[in-house]
Amino acid sequence: MSMFQDESYDWRDTYFVLFESVNRPQLDDVKRMVEQLNPRYEISNLHADSQGRFESLTIRSPADFTAIDVSFLNGDEVTEHRDAFLKELATEDRDELEQEKWERFARCDARFDVMHFEQVIEADEEEPDAMVDPGALINVIDALVDITHGVGIDPQSGMLM
């Protein structure tokens, strides 16, 4: 079940991790990675293809009042998204590290959609986001980038992570 179907959570943002499809990890490796990030993360809805490669999973972080759905995608939609992003930001000045990320990004043909959800709770109206901690999201994105040798994207800012 996707977190979109859980009324106790609201969708906040979707981030992306792009990578070369040859670096698609096994589901067991992703599960182990998440468990090592934080033993309190609750992992569910694990799915793999017939070869054991990662398809999707859900991570809940009750301490952060967040949940994360991660799903695999490849094909034309991914390469079209990548090409549009490359074209949109082609003229940006980059330092050496950023340039290396852009070169890696240009080779990507697969993607993880990382959907961030906020637990619905009665919050102080003056500070509606006071309970949400993006720590779990950042940890998961960083770990997915590492395991795939990929590049994370914050689509709101257009930054590579």
pLDDT at 90: 66
What does the alpha-carbon distance between residue 113 and residue 57 come to, in Å, rounded to a whole number?
A: 11
For the entire predicted model, the pTM comes to 0.88
Per-residue model confidence as pLDDT tens for the chain (161 residues): 678 788 889 999 999 999 999 999 999 999 999 999 999 999 999 999 999 999 999 999 998 899 999 999 999 999 998 898 888 766 667 677 777 888 888 899 999 999 999 998 765 555 555 567 788 999 999 999 999 999 998 888 777 77
What does the alpha-carbon distance between residue 54 and residue 148 come to, in Å, rounded to a whole number?
A: 11
Contact partners, residue 5, CB within 8 Å, separation at least 6: none
Domain that holds residue 72: 3-160
Split into its structural domains, the chain has a count of 1
